[in-house]
């Protein structure tokens, strides 16, 4: 079964002014579509063709550049679209908010840690909020299209929130102002989706 580019749950302009329509159009329709096609090409005819995307990440052969980069690109962007919403922003609530307070001290402290991870990732990569078995939360970052499900990458938990800090994610609207893009991301975070990821993986 070949992987498919997922539909967005919102229109390209729905996240404006925080993320512009043209960036969304190119990012989803060109970049993510490209990772999807190249992932399928890398899997074709191999014994990994029927694995789930999560299994592919957990068992990644890190020396297989085509599978690592395009499989990571496919997985990471699938999560990224889901954790954003035009109705997003604000603060988490319930058990996720309690876990954030427990593990970071406060929501503001979490926001600082996550923003720092995103701002200090040198070059292309991602910032992550991950949950470990047992429910402990941790922030980390990774380079290129790697993610913490892959062997030896980041904090090693399951990512439940991810922020793409490749220039293709923000350059049209923010140019070199990555910190402004990171701040704007907090206005569109879909905390219901992050809560679902927390519940499913804690």
**Cα-Cα-Cα-Cα dihedral of 13, 128, 110, 102, to 10°?**
130
* Residue among 75 and 166 whose Cβ is closer to Mn ion: 166
Q: Taking the complex as a whole, how short is the minimal distance between the CB of residue 48 and Mn ion, in angstroms?
A: 23
- Report how far residue 52's alpha carbon sits from residue 12's, in angstroms, rounded to the nearest whole number: 28
Cis peptide leading into residue 17 (ω within 30°): yes
> Does 146 engage in binding with Mn ion (CB under 5 A)?
no
* Residue among 173 and 195 whose Cβ is closer to Mn ion: 173
12, 173 Cβ separation under 8 angstroms:
no
Q: Taking the complex as a whole, how short is the minimal distance between the CB of residue 168 and Mn ion, in angstroms?
A: 5
The DSSP code for 84 is: B
* Residue among 114 and 198 whose Cβ is closer to Mn ion: 114
Tell which residue, 172, 196, 179, has the closest CA to residue 16. 172
**Of 61-69, 90-98, 156-164, 171-179, which segment contacts Mn ion by CB under 5 A?**
156-164
Considering CB under 5 A, how many residues would be counted as binding Mn ion?
2
162, 126 Cβ separation under 8 angstroms:
yes
The footprint of Mn ion on residues 24-53 (CB under 5 A) is none
131, 158 Cβ separation under 8 angstroms:
yes
* Residue among 166 and 198 whose Cβ is closer to Mn ion: 166
Q: Taking the complex as a whole, how short is the minimal distance between the CB of residue 127 and Mn ion, in angstroms?
A: 13
**Of 60-68, 133-141, 161-169, 184-192, which segment contacts Mn ion by CB under 5 A?**
161-169
- 3-class DSSP assignment, residue 164: strand
* Residue among 102 and 177 whose Cβ is closer to Mn ion: 177
Q: Taking the complex as a whole, how short is the minimal distance between the CB of residue 31 and Mn ion, in angstroms?
A: 5
* Residue among 104 and 126 whose Cβ is closer to Mn ion: 126
Among 103, 146, 164, 193, binds Mn ion (CB under 5 A): 164
Alpha-helical runs (H) found in 27-106:
33-43, 53-58, 65-82, 94-104
**Cα-Cα-Cα-Cα dihedral of 115, 117, 119, 121, to 10°?**
-160
> Does 103 engage in binding with Mn ion (CB under 5 A)?
no
Residues in contact with Mn ion by the rule CB under 5 A: 164, 166
């Amino acid at each position: 079964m070949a992987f498919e580019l997922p539909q967005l749950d919102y229109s390209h302009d729905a996240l404006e002014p925080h993320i512009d329509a043209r960036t969304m159009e190119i990012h989803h329709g060109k970049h993510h579509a490209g990772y999807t096609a190249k992932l399928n090409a890398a899997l074709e005819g191999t014994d990994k063709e029927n694995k789930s995307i999560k299994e592919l990440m957990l068992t990644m052969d890190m020396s297989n550049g085509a599978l690592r980069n395009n499989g990571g690109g496919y997985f990471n962007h699938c999560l990224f679209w889901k954790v954003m919403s035009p109705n997003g922003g604000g603060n988490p609530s319930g058990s996720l908010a309690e876990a954030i307070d427990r593990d970071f001290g406060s929501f503001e402290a979490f926001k600082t840690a996550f923003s720092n991870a995103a701002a200090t990732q040198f070059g292309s990569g991602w910032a992550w909020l991950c949950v470990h078995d047992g429910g402990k939360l941790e922030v980390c970052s990774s380079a290129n299209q790697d993610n913490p499900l892959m062997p030896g990458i980041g904090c090693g938990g399951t990512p439940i929130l991810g922020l793409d800090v490749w220039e293709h994610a923000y350059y049209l609207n923010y140019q070199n102002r990555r910190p402004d893009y990171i701040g704007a991301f907090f206005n569109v975070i879909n905390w219901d989706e992050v809560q679902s990821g927390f519940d499913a993986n804690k």
